[in-house]
Structure 1
Amino acid sequence: MRVLCLVDGPVIPPDRWMWNHLPEEAQQDEVDFLWASPADRFKNWGKFLSYYPQYINLGWRAWKACQKRHYDVIVAWEAKTGFPLGALRSLAGVHSPPFVIFCFSFRGIATSFPQISSWVMRGVHHITVVSPEEIEFYSRILHIPRSHITFCQFGWHDLCQNAEPLAHNNFIFAFGRSYRDYQTFLEAVDGLPIEVIVNTRRFAIRGLKVPANVHINEMMPEKEYARLLVSAKFVVTPLLDTPHAAGESSIVQIMAAGKAIVATRTHSTSYYVEDGITGILVPPKEPRAMREACLYLLSHPEECKAMGAAARRRYEEQFTSEHTARCQYAVLQKMVMMQAES
């Protein structure tokens, strides 16, 4: 089949994005890529300065590409990449070829305009989500039929496969910027008898008191980040409790690195983290519970290592790029087949 893919970063041959992880028969597909490369330097409405314009431009380029060439299906990675094209298709009343958004998440500025977002989704045939609970949520909020939503677990390649551990490994690590509850986290680790390293954007911790044992890095190159991840005692993912998935990409990376996880219990983390087996889940907004979980892992190093090993096994069994690619590709095949039969 002939596919147009809209992604949020460069895909340069011989890289074929999802197709890198698919069986031989899928390699016959003709796949074109268009991408945006926005600078994520601001939050909330500040994203209109340098972030959202990139995706609006991507939607327009995709629209023009579809006028010049026939595609059997269009794919967008996440809602931010697909919304502009969905709006153009809804405005023009265009419903062919099928349009699918992978790893859909309704968040950010779009949540301020649910009726407009629901209208935009008329230009989209199908979405995949990364937690089972989101099917009901998006069906209710955006009026998407449940049959148009597929759960595909989030998978990712092993970023730490060739990472060289640091000589210094006596620290707890946390990272990420979106929907992080660093206020609870910083309260939880304040005064712990161990160094804490955090990789995030400065805006994610603006106005928060940073304890003396906490070191804040800006987001860093993947190679340096991977070395921190494989060297940490364990990793904490503090999250806000949202109705949509959040933090799953971080958790999958932690699992791949073979590290025990302390995470906020949310809709998505309850699926990805096996509480007491691959990590410890704690209630939202409870720094005391998060602190107790950290102290438990520090005082039980062998159990901490066992949780990390279990996390790695779970990653290999369910959350590799190959697992996710197969699920998503099955959705594309179904859309193309349904279009041919209609």
Structure 2
Amino acid sequence: MQWILAVPFLYDEGGDWITHHVGAPHRFTTAPAPYAHDRSRAATGASEWSDYLRHAWQAWRLVRAAPRGRVGIMTGFPQLAVAAALVKLVLGRRDVPLVAWCFNLGRTPGGWKARLARLVLRQVDVFVVHSRREIALYADWLDLPRDRFAFVPLSIHDEPRETHEDEAAPFILAMGSANRDYATLAAAAASLGLPTVIVAGAHAVADLALPPNVTVRSGLGIAECHDLCGRARVNVVPLRNTTFTSGQVTVLEAMMLAKPVVATRAAGTEDYVIEGQNGLLVPPEDPAALAAAIKALWDDPAARARLGAEARRTVAEGTTFRAVAPAMAAVLEAARIRVAGRSAPALRAEPWRGQAG
């Protein structure tokens, strides 16, 4: 089976992603993204939708050149799923399986947008989400059966390296801008009086009264962020909206570097951070609980080492591209069988070793 990839960060066949580790009978051809995937925006405007539609059309042109019954499409991120599903609806190509990988929404709109989404997204055969909570959330919103959705752990490029905590000048680190609750972190940091660094866009901390022990940095590259993460004594991911997923990449990259994380219990964290095993989870908007969790790790180097080692193992065994490849293969096969008119096997991502079921 040949799969056409419409994924914004893939520009050629040589990219190292999950597909690189998925073997026969699946083959992959990339429809290169005709735009730069480096834009951060709260909403998708007309020019961006034009980019996604052009990208989806390029993918469908490759589909139309392939033999019927032997080709499918896999998209990355919701906008491309919508664009590819719209073309599928217009062309009437129900014979082409469509997989929406990384279907992650920041909100579920109502009104005409919801009605349009239900019409178009029925063309998707399998939605892949990276939080178990999202299955019910999106199935109910789209009025689709839950067996059309599959939870697969979010995967990251594995870059393990030795890290050295800054013992001379220890600090707390929080990174990221999307859905971050830096007000709660600021209150916790004020009560602790410990040096705290926030790496985020200016808008994420706008109008916050930050205590003098909190500094903000922005515009850092990935290598600089990883360096800070490795040197930090405690990494914190405070989240505001706990219904929708966010913060997962920040959590997993810290865990990849064998750093325990203190995170808000939310849809984007509870499938990855296991309380007391590879990190700590705290209730939302609770400065006292956040401060207590930070202080517990700050004062206990043995706990940091134990949780960090388990965090690293969690990533190595469950969230690398290679680790997730079998789940991707199962999703693609289920989509192929579903379109062929047979009963597709139930999709259930088995928890990796050490993960809660």
State TM-score, norm by structure 2: 0.84
Post-superposition offset of 1:268: 3.6
Q: For 2:293, what is the secondary structure of its paired residue? A: helix
Cα-to-partner distance string for 1:198-221 (whole Å, 9 max, x where unaligned):
222222222222332222222422
Post-superposition offset of 1:258: 0.6
Residue equivalent to 1:59: 56
Do 1:79 and 1:101's aligned partners in 2 also have CA atoms closer than 8 Å? yes
Q: Does 1:48 align with 2:45?
A: yes
Residue equivalent to 2:158: 158
Residue equivalent to 2:94: 95
Post-superposition offset of 1:54: 3.2
Residue equivalent to 2:84: 85
Separation (CA, whole Å) in 2 of partners of 1:167 and 1:57: 51
Higher helix content, 1 or 2: 1
Q: For 2:131, what is the secondary structure of its paired residue? A: coil
Q: Within 5 Å, give how 1:130-149 maps onto structure 2.
A: 130-149=130-149
Q: Within 5 Å, give how 1:259-338 maps onto structure 2.
A: 259-338=259-338
Q: Which runs of 5+ in 2 are unaligned?
A: 343-357
Do 1:191 and 1:212's aligned partners in 2 also have CA atoms closer than 8 Å? no
Residue equivalent to 1:76: 75
Residue equivalent to 1:107: 106
How many residue pairs match? The answer is: 338
Q: Does 1:9 align with 2:20?
A: no
Per mean C-alpha deviation after superposition, the further-off stretch among 297-306 and 239-248 is 239-248
Separation (CA, whole Å) in 1 of partners of 2:218 and 2:110: 28
Post-superposition offset of 1:118: 1.5
Do 1:258 and 1:309's aligned partners in 2 also have CA atoms closer than 8 Å? yes
Post-superposition offset of 1:333: 2.1
Post-superposition offset of 1:52: 4.5
User: What is the percentage of aligned positions where both structures have the same residue?
Assistant: 25
Q: Which runs of 5+ in 1 are unaligned?
A: none
CA distance 1:7–1:181, change in 2 (3 Å): same
Separation (CA, whole Å) in 1 of partners of 2:41 and 2:174: 20
Q: Which amino acid aligns with 1:84?
A: A
Do 2:162 and 2:257's aligned partners in 1 also have CA atoms closer than 8 Å? no
Separation (CA, whole Å) in 1 of partners of 2:333 and 2:7: 19
Q: Within 5 Å, give how 1:171-182 maps onto structure 2.
A: 171-182=171-182
Do 2:63 and 2:72's aligned partners in 1 also have CA atoms closer than 8 Å? no
Separation (CA, whole Å) in 2 of partners of 1:111 and 1:208: 31
Residue equivalent to 1:190: 190
Separation (CA, whole Å) in 1 of partners of 2:61 and 2:163: 41
RMSD of Structure 2 on Structure 1 (CA)? 2.7
Do 1:173 and 1:196's aligned partners in 2 also have CA atoms closer than 8 Å? yes
Post-superposition offset of 1:9: 1.6
Q: Does 1:32 align with 2:30?
A: yes
Post-superposition offset of 1:162: 7.3
Cα-to-partner distance string for 1:45-84 (whole Å, 9 max, x where unaligned):
xx42765543343234334443444561100112123222
State TM-score, norm by structure 1: 0.87
